[in-house]
Amino acid sequence: MTNYICITCGTQYAATESEPAHCPICEDERQYVNQDGQSWTTMDVLDRHHKLIFHKIEPNLYGIGMTPEFGIGQRALLVTTPEGNVLWDCIPLINDAAQDIIHALGGIDAIAISHPHFYSSMIDWSHAFGDAPVYLHANDRQWVQRPDDVIHFWNDQSPELPGNLRLYNAGGHFEGGTILHWPDGATGKGALLAGDILQVTADRMHVSFMYSYPNNIPMNEQKITRIIDCLNPLAYDRVYSAWWSTCLKNNAKKAVNFSAKRYINAIH
């Protein structure tokens, strides 16, 4: 029995004797099936052909990614706090070297993920760190491809994680789309860890919003307004999206609100 991993989206599936016939996440219009057809790999194969890379991004924040890139190509973020460490979003590969590095940083006490495109190998990551709880919004329950008791589905109450971090259901291209607010980030001015619920743009001065990034389907005004209404009560000066270079370093709240108005004007 093998936990196969989709090569296009990087999602790990419940153990089966043979490769699954379909990847529902890729068959959804927000993602896509590889033009060569649905294909699968395993953790062992990934570990032979890819390496994990770590970068310190700011005090108490580390990025964890794969090289060469795999699947969607996102990197995870590890927030370290005196009360415990939180892994934000996930990547498909976990190996012994990564476990050693992260244990030296204090381990992982909780995992939280923005939306189903970044579930990847969340269960293996949890099991590697003492069955750390994995926080997913209940509205995205149907997209979990490897159920496990470590998953904690939350709904109305925004969970508080170690270090005064808190999850918020902002919606976006998934109903359960989640953003992590880190009050101590950006030297105490506050930071949002946003996955691609907020996508920092190429100019690193704005964000954008899409229902499907690979298929270029825009998001509607109602969903954008919901995101802004969720974020406006929060204090933040920085936004981290899902890739190494996608960071809005300062004046982020002003930029997010401006970007939302600009986007809504453009789709009218």
Dist CA 45 CA 250 (whole Å): 40
Instruction: Give the chain's residues under pLDDT 70.
Output: none
Please write the tens of the pLDDT for every residue from 195-229: 999 999 999 999 999 999 999 999 999 999 999 99
* Residue for token pair 């991004």: 57
What pLDDT does 230 receive?
97
What pLDDT does 157 receive?
83
The answer to whether 214 and 221 are in contact (CB under 8 A) is no
* Residue for token pair 């890729």: 26
Amino acid occupying residue 51: K
Q: Which H, E and C letters describe 143-173, residue by residue? A: HCCCCCCCEEEECCCCCEEHHHEEEEECCCC
Nearest Cα neighbor of 248 from 187, 210, 197, 202 is: 202
> Domain 5-267, what fold?
Metallo-beta-lactamase; Chain A (3.60.15)
Output the pTM of the full model: 0.97
What pLDDT does 156 receive?
80
